Structures are given as C-alpha cells and as structure tokens.
Amino acid sequence: MRWKAGTTGRRRGLLAAATAAVGAAALALGTASAVSGATAASASEHAAPAALGGNWYGAAPYVMPFDNSPPDLGPVMSATGQKSFQLAFILAPNGGGCSPTWDGTHPVSSDTQAKSVIDGIRAAGGDVTVSAGGYGGTKLGQTCGDPSSTAAAYQQVVSKYALKAIDFDLEEPEYENATAIHNEIGAAKILQQNNPGLYVSVTTAGTTGGEGTGWFGKQMLAEAKSQGFTPANYAIMPFDGGFNGSAAQISALEGFHSTLMSTFGWSSATAYAHEGVSLMNGRSDTGEYFRQADFQAVLDYATSHGLSRFTFWSVNRDRQCSPPDNNGQTSGTCSSVTQGAWDFTKFTAAFGGAPASPPPTDPAPGACTAPAWNATSVYTGGMEVTYSKHTYKAKWWTQGETPGTADVWSDEGPCT
C-alpha cells in the first residue's frame, strides 16, 4: 500500500528522509536540476505531452516529487531508457475541502514544482501519469459531495498538466468507505468520458489466497460494475500482506485474474488484458524481500500473459542503502537490498519498451452442457450450471445465489 501523509512510514515502504534532505531535494526540483531545470527552462510553459503508447503509461513507476529525497529523473531516464513516471499523490487538503493538492499540502492550482518536473520529463521525450489516493491522507472522494464534484476536482489536475493518464490508488482507509469509493469510481468514469483517450488505471490492495484481493477490493470492483465503468487496467499490490517473493505474487495475480472474470463475466484473455501489478522493490514495510530475480519472474509472467500494467513503488527507493541492507530496516529513499543504481526501474523500462503482445487467445466456446441454474435448487462444491451463456462451478454449498453475482460461483467461461 502506500505512503501515509505526515508519518515516517507508509505501507508502501516509506520511511521518510531527514527533513533537511527532503527540503534540499525539493529545492533542487523547484530550481531546475537536470531534468526539471535546464531542460525545463527551454520547454514551453505548457509543454505538450509526449506521444507515448499505453504500454508506457502502464509501465510508469511511482515517484514522490515532494518527499523522500526525490531523485533527479534526467539521469534515471538516461541510465534505464524509462520514459514514463507516475507522480504521487493527489489528495484533498489536509484541512478539508474539495480542491486537489499534492500530499494534502501543495495546492495544484498554484503548483510550479511538480509542473517543472513534468515539463522536464516531457522535454526529455517522456511523459507522466498522476496518482490520486494512496494509503492514508484524506482523499477527494471523502470530502467532495458526489461523483461529479469529485471529477471536477480531478479535472483540474488533468487540465493543469495536460495529462494523458491518471491512476486511482484505492486502498486503506478510503476503500472501506462505500460513499468515498462510489465518488471515486464515478469520478473516474466521468474523466474517462470527458477526456477521450485518457488512460485510467485503478490500483488496490493485493492479498494472498485464491482471490488476489480482499473483501473491500472486491466491493470496489462491484461498484465499478454497477456504474458500468471499465478502466484500462486494474492492478493489485502483492506486498505487505504475507507475501514471500515472486511465487506468492504470481499466485495472487492468478487469483485476481479469476476474480476479474467472475466479477465482470470477462473471458480469460480479456481479464489478463485489464490486469496489472504494482510491486515494491527491495524490503517491504513488513520485512518481505523482493529482489531483482523476483521482479524478473513477475515481469516474465506479465508479458507472457498479456497484462497491461507493470509498475512499482518507488523510484525514490531504487538506490542502494549504506550499508546495503540498511541494518534490516525499510527506507523511503533506498531499497535495503544490494543493487546497482536504478536496477528496478530497468524492469519497468523493459515492460514499457516491449512490443505490446496480445494476451492468450481463448478457445472458441463449446456447447452449454451443464444444466440451467435454478434458484430453488441446492448445489454443492464442484457442481456445474449454465447461466447467461456461461458455465459456472460451485465452490461450496449454495442455494438461491445468482451465478456471476456471488463469490460462491467460479466462472468457467462462455458457452453457446
């Protein structure tokens, strides 16, 4: 999960850097270090976004431009080939209200610092997506009265920075608030409708086990279904939840794939094409370790299955600590594992630069051979039924629970 405003940590692995270091880094960003300075100085006041494909927006790693010793992104781009970055986070003001701010403290309306970073990235041939939400802080969906006013607040961000992509990071504690999630999902749908071509991604918590995300994550998906909203991508964060390396992460992704199919009635191929992963590099907040080999394994899975997003938290942390293990502590400014500079960003660069491969093709649907579902019949685990031209298998005892709307049913795919 992610940074928590006003604390030294956040379930996205963020022990804040010392205040002086953060202030110096922020000053460097504001006054033009390599990417956000000399290049940005020659960029127009309203630099046009680069023409990047969706694969790059799905490959944008997270960066905190105001906190955790933000790196100069010019050398990162040169060293890795990375073209896109996801700047975090847009929140409601700490004092309340329905206007967008960076981290709850820097109003978007008067911002020049983040804009300088964005202009510099674009001048170097890249582009950005901006993330709203994260772990902790007050979200716009909590303070704005309805989806339309929430969307109007986010539209200020889209318009200010001429965005071609935006991410909704919906996790604790906001996703436990049904009204806030209704507002956020509704706002995302409105933004998508009012900004043709806008790449909209949704990020939520990942869990071990068979479904990939927890009860609140599934409620968020149900809210999206009820509003008729389909983003470019739904990504889970398989860390800080009892994960241990890439095998557990891939298992969670497979579970989430099944959840997407059963929730939306999607085929396997369609579900993979709308699925993504947001990793954490190095040591997580809970002491899990995700090294370069883990990133490679998940990247191989993502590319071979046609996932549309592969990102991580964060570029601020993509540096070796001193000592390399950081004395067994998690940091917001380094990874706590042995690494070269920007090792983990090279994986998102590989995903973004790879030709977009089509997801696995589903076989042609066969005949519907299972008996039709009956609301009064009792079904036990393993029994199959036909409903709405899909075959469903019961996971456990059930009666009167409609296939496609209840977790008890596993969608086995379409039939004719």
Task: From residue 164, give the alpha-carbon distance in Å to each of 30, 57, 59, 232, 348.
Answer: 23, 9, 14, 12, 19
Rounded to the nearest 10 degrees, how much is the dihedral formed by the CA atoms of 140, 145, 150, 156?
-90
DSSP per residue over 131-183, as a string? EEE-SSS--HHHHSSSHHHHHHHHHHHHHHTT-SEEEEE--TTGGG-HHHHHH
Output the six-digit token pair for 378. Answer: 């009792």
Round to whole Å and give the CA distance between 29 and 111.
12
Q: Residue 130: in which H helix or E strand, if any?
A: strand 127-133
DSSP per residue over 58-106, as a string? TT--EE-SSSS----HHHHHHHH---EEEEEEEE--TT--SS-EETTTE
Please tell me which residue in 171, 211, 223, 275 is annotated as part of the active site.
171
Round to whole Å and give the CA distance between 181 and 44.
37
Active-site residue, 288 included? no
Output the six-digit token pair for 374. Answer: 């009956």
Output the six-digit token pair for 22. Answer: 């953060």
Decide if 330 contacts 283 (C-beta within 8 A): yes
Output the six-digit token pair for 177. Answer: 């608030």
DSSP per residue over 281-344, as a string? -EE-TTS-EE-HHHHHHHHHHHHHTT-SEEEEE-GGG-S--SSTTGGG---SSS-SS---TTTT
Round to whole Å and give the CA distance between 240 and 287.
8
Strands 282-283 and 275-280 come out as unpaired
What are the residue numbers of the active site?
171
